[in-house]
Every structure is written in structure tokens, then in C-alpha cells.
Structure 1
Amino acid sequence: MPAISINNDVATTIALYFSTSENQSEIINILLASVEVLKKQSGFISFSIHKSQDGLRVATYEQWQNQADYEAFLNSIAGKELTAKLSTFPVESHLFEVVASQSISGSPVPPQIITGGFLTHFAEFRTTPEKQPRLVELQKEYIVKAFENNTGLVSANFHRSLDGLMTINYGQWSSQEAFKAILQAPGFESTGSGYWVGLAENEFHLYDVVFTEPSEENN
């Protein structure tokens, strides 16, 4: 299964499709239909699809050997066909690197993306290139505090977009109750006093992993 690690020498792409309860399944079906083509692309490592529980997002988490392989796919006939099929749905997509990752009890095993597993939390921090470095510093600090404050946090994985416009926390939780508890902890409040205030606009959604596919050579 796909592993998330600061030691991964991969290119990570996260795409957020802005959906509604009416078209969320349509987006997922288009993405599922693209899997067999993706698996055949040079440099492909993994592809995972996430469905937000509120119906407002579909998120994909892709890993490629390098940025050139990913861009080659986008510019290929297959890549352009997939883009065309999804063109009616608003999307935000960036290339990322993992800058901080921690698992429960300090487990040395990198977090893995699995279906039917943990409650997944995508925290979207929209920022600017000037503010992103300080935001990342604070996220590295608060990832430790998050585990001190909540035993239901399974893993937290901060990603920095290479264009400087975003960071994303891919979090895994044991339950919704555990996630709600962190929103009451100092520095994590969702009411306007979180550590990111003044550095980023924060929005989060809770997801279920509905599909994950490693490359054939990684099976």
C-alpha cells in the first residue's frame, strides 16, 4: 500500500475536486476508470481516491517517481483525455513534498493509505510563498503537540506545495470523537485562534479512502 514518509524520494500530487452531493460519485467513477491507464504510465507509483463525508470534495493522492514523469503523463494523450473528462469540475492541484510525518507511539513504520481503515483528515492551508516557510515551522512544532493532546490521532503528515501556495495535513484518526477533541486543544481551535492565523486560511474535511492502487511493480 502507498506509504507517506519524509524519506520518500517521490513526487506527490494532491488534487482537490470541488464536488456536490449530486456529482461526487460521478467524479469518483471517472477517476476509477482512469486507473488501468495510470498503472501503465512510466514513473507511476500509486493512486488513491478519497471521498469527503460532507459531499464537498473528492481528493486524490498520487505518487510518481519524479516530477518529469508526472508532467509527461499530463501532456500525453491519456493525460489530456482524463483532464478533458474532469474539466467540468473545479479542481485545485499542486505538487508537494512531505515535510513532517509522525505516527502514534512514534512507530517507525511509515503511515500507509488503506481502504476501510482510518478516518482521514485533509487540512487545507492556503498561504503565500512568503508565509509558507514560517507556517511549515509551526506545523513541525504542532505535530508534536497534537500527539501530546490526543490519543486518537494515528498519524499526521504535513505536505508543502512546491509553488509555495499551500500546505496540507493528511491526518489519520481512530474516530470522529478523537478528531473533534483536537479542535478544542490550545493552538488547534477552529474558531479563529489556531496557530496558522495570520499565515494561512484553513479549511478541513473528513474523508473515507474509497480506492488505492499501487503500481504493478509495487504490488
Structure 2
Amino acid sequence: MLRDVLLREWRGVVAVPCRRLLERGPLGVSLALFATVAVIGLHEFQQTAVGADVVRVLSEVRADQPLWLSLIRTPVSVFVPAVDLAVWGGLPRLFLSFALAELLFGRARALVVAYAVTLAGTLGARVMVALGPDRLGLPADAAHAVDTGASAAIVGLFAYTAVRMRAPLLFLAAVVPTVAGSIAEPNLAGREHLIAVAVAMALAAVRCQWPLSDSGAVDQEVGHGSSRSAGSAGRRGDRGDPRR
């Protein structure tokens, strides 16, 4: 049983994406490349005096802002690194999260999931600040903190991919450490990460119950090797049965 689970995960999150990348070339991960270049470019631009103000105006999201302003800025904030994190260390995770989702589920769905989990974290922060610390929320000063930026999208995409592909090792490696850190340090960023993971898992569970063509194709590709092996074994057994 464990061997079958690991084999399925290997096919789902390694073999199938690699084969699709070989078939499509760099265009197969165009969204991941765009996200990586955007994060690098915005980070470098943010280091200049003018750039810091421009990036702040275009992407800074806080719970004390008018809701309409946060909604306008959220799409750009997906590609802005958190100011308190090392951007270069997070680039491999950023690229891998977007690339896996793009190769397995398509460019549009990867972008929708990234935006949805980021927006959920943004709206959830407002709710938690409104609740206050006495009701398992956040203190009032958390409303002045800047949202997590690209990190919520990264952990959300990993969680979505792990649940959709039934990949427990991917979940343990890419999602559990973030969840554990968020629980250990329950600040604004940690709460937003937890919301992003929860929303991503909910979206993935819905897709599992109601798969569309691309999801079904992935499932068929992942299960093709096992079905073929089972079929071959069955045929060998038929030939070896003296009663036939």
C-alpha cells in the first residue's frame, strides 16, 4: 500500500510534470517564469527610493485600508516578496510552486488559485482584526502590518497541488513546515498562511469531487502505469491458467 502511494506520488508530482515540460518547453512554465522575474524585478525596484514608493502604492495591502483599495492592490501583491523575508532564498519555492501547478492544472487555474488564496488571507486578516485577541483574532495594531505578499500564494499552491495529486510527501515537505511556523508564531503573516492553506485545500477537495477535463487527464496519466501493469499481470495470469 505504501509503495503504491509513493509510486503514484512520484508519477504525479515528478514524472508527469517533467514529461509535460519536455513536451512544451519553456512555454510550459511561462507563468512560473513570469512570477519569478516579477518578484526579482519588484524586489530590486523596491530597493530604490522611487521604487519603494511606487511598489507601496501599487501593492501594499493592509487591514486598515479601505476594502476597495486592498482589492485593487491584491493582484500585484501576489508577486511582491514580503519585506521581512530573504527574497533569493524563496525563489526556488516560488518557481516550483507555480511550475508544478501550471504543468499539472494549467496556467489559468494556477493563477486563479494563487490569487484566491492571497485574497482569502487579505480578507481573513480584516475579520481577525475585527474580532480582536479576545475572540481568537488579532490585536488592533495588526491592521497596520503589510500582508504577506507572494508567500501566501506559494504555500497555497503547494497545498492545492498536494491535495489534488494525493501527494502526502509534498504536503509534509512544502506545507507542514509553514503551518507549524504559523501556529508557533500566530502573527498576521502566520494567520494568513493558515487561511491560504485552508482555502487551497478546500478548492482542491472541490476539484476532486468535480474534476474537469485537465484534472481528469492528469489522474489518467498518473494511474496509467498502474493500470497497464495490472493489465499485463492479468494477461500473464490468463495465459498461465490451465483451465482456459
TM-score, reference length from structure 2: 0.26
* Larger proportion of strand: 1
Pair member with larger Rg: 2
